[in-house]
Amino acid sequence: DAYYARLYGLTRKQLRYILDPADLTERELEDILDPREEVADPLDPAGYATRAAASTFPGETFRVLKEKEIRQFGEYRTRRLVLEAWEKLAQH
């Protein structure tokens, strides 16, 4: 998923939005096309939980998957794995 996001020219912020719109801050949501991010480390579990709890975004992209993974793994595992892969691709 991370590889194809890069091929399509998405920014990390846009990928975060696709995986879970609640991950973005209000300011990040204001201009999704601006690649600037307020979040230095989107993989920080506490920061993600704080952003998701404060989110007023009216929908979720993968709600069923997210809920299932939180029950099964205690985290939204797909989101973490895709963002980790994004970071690895960025290093090469």
Residue 2 has pLDDT above 90, yes or no: yes
CB neighbourhood size of 24 (10 A): 23
Radius of gyration of the CA atoms of the chain, in A: 13
Q: What is the pLDDT of residue 58?
A: 87
Q: What is the pLDDT of residue 5?
A: 97
Token reading at 50: 């704080």
Q: What is the pLDDT of residue 64?
A: 95
Q: Are 42 and 12 in contact (CB under 8 A)?
A: yes
Q: Are 63 and 53 in contact (CB under 8 A)?
A: no
SS3 state at 87: helix
12-19 vs 77-90: helix crossing angle, rounded to 10: 170
Reported as a single tens digit per residue, the pLDDT across 15-50 is 999 999 999 999 999 999 999 999 999 999 999 999
